[in-house]
Amino acid sequence: MSEGQKFQLGTIGALSLSVVSSVSIVICNKALISTLGFTFATTLTSWHLLVTFCSLHVALWMKMFEHKPFDPRAVMGFGILNGISIGLLNLSLGFNSVGFYQMTKLAIIPCTVLLETLFFRKKFSRKIQFSLSILLLGVGIATVTDLQLNMLGSVLSLLAVITTCVAQIMTNTIQKKFKVSSTQLLYQSCPYQAITLFVTGPFLDGLLTNQNVFAFKYTSQVVFFIVLSCLISVSVNFSTFLVIGKTSPVTYQVLGHLKTCLVLAFGYVLLRDPFNWRNILGIMVAVIGMVVYSYFCSIETQQKASETSTQLPQMKESENDPLIAVENGSGVLSDGGGGVQKTVAPVWNSNKDFQA
């Protein structure tokens, strides 16, 4: 099996794990919050991250992956930013209508595209933009019901979108820049995310629910669903980093909207949630957008692979050119007038370029 086939299988596995685990935890949390009345979402998320870190620590002790320390400031900033983005999304839901919150989630894709275009010079073809538009239209039809605006809620939503986009872009760039796996990055950033939410969670939940998480009556049923939710969250957190590392932040958001459609469908089938023609039409349009996006992505990936394969022979020919000599990263040029040689600084540094 070639490296390309292994990478494709790994990507498909990561996407499948992300979908299954995310839909499972949404159904579990819905039962915990709606049925059992445990409405402390931010505090629950901090417990998720704490259990994830403990699980990864056990995996490290069993030598299932290698610990690879890197820039501690980057890890701390990334972990805290992730924690803040989760808190802001919860606040956005608390201070806005459900419809406006869904619009906030929809805004993450165009915002990510904009940031990657401006700061990373990444180009998105018109076909990709068209397929994303179809997807967003479908999810909007299926999920957005009302758009009640207020100043505080709008500011919180804007901050939530920006921090979420930056955090997800950082997830991808950090893994590539420092050459760390999704597991290694998650293991090092988890404590900062957990501490951020563990400190702020009870305050935010109290602000949103007017209840104290420590005064809640924890029955055996509530404890069971909390433990189950925490165990599923290990898979959710791991697959999130894995998907973004193997694909891109935009693809992860597309996958997130697929999860939304699946949650709507499972909610109707399993929990008998209300379902109408708008939900059905929106899900159908969104699925069409996802299929078109996947098709165009695969076509562009194949085109890039063929371009790379055609450029390799040309690079080898240029390396064998006797007029060019490269040694230890510096070029040596002859002035043509005798034995005098001039050492020229390299135009690029190979190590730096491959690490970027």
Cα 286 to the chain's mean position, in Å? 19
78: number of CA atoms within 13 Å, CB side? 21
Token pair in block for residue 24: 């499972």
Of 100, 141, 143, 119, the closest CA to residue 249 belongs to 119
Rounded to 10°, the helix 182-209/220-246 angle is 130
Burial (0-12, 13-18, 19+ Cβ within 10 Å), 66: exposed
Q: How far apart are CA 348 and CA 356, in angstroms?
A: 12
Residues 215-246 pLDDT 10s: 999 999 999 999 999 999 999 888 888 887 77
CA atoms within 13 Å, Cβ hemisphere of 44:
26
State the pLDDT at residue 22.
Answer: 83
Q: Are 202 and 212 in contact (CB under 8 A)?
A: yes
Closest residue by Cα to residue 230 from 54, 18, 39: 54
Q: Is 162 helix (H, G, I), strand (E, B) or coil?
A: helix
66: three-class secondary structure by DSSP = coil
Label residue 313 by pLDDT band (50, 70, 90). Answer: low
Using the 8-state DSSP alphabet, how is residue 64 labeled? Answer: S
Q: What is the pLDDT of residues 69-114, one digit of tens each?
A: 989 999 999 999 999 999 998 888 888 877 778 788 888 989 999 9
- Return the higher-pLDDT residue of 310 and 153: 153
Global pTM value: 0.73
The length of the chain in residues reads: 356
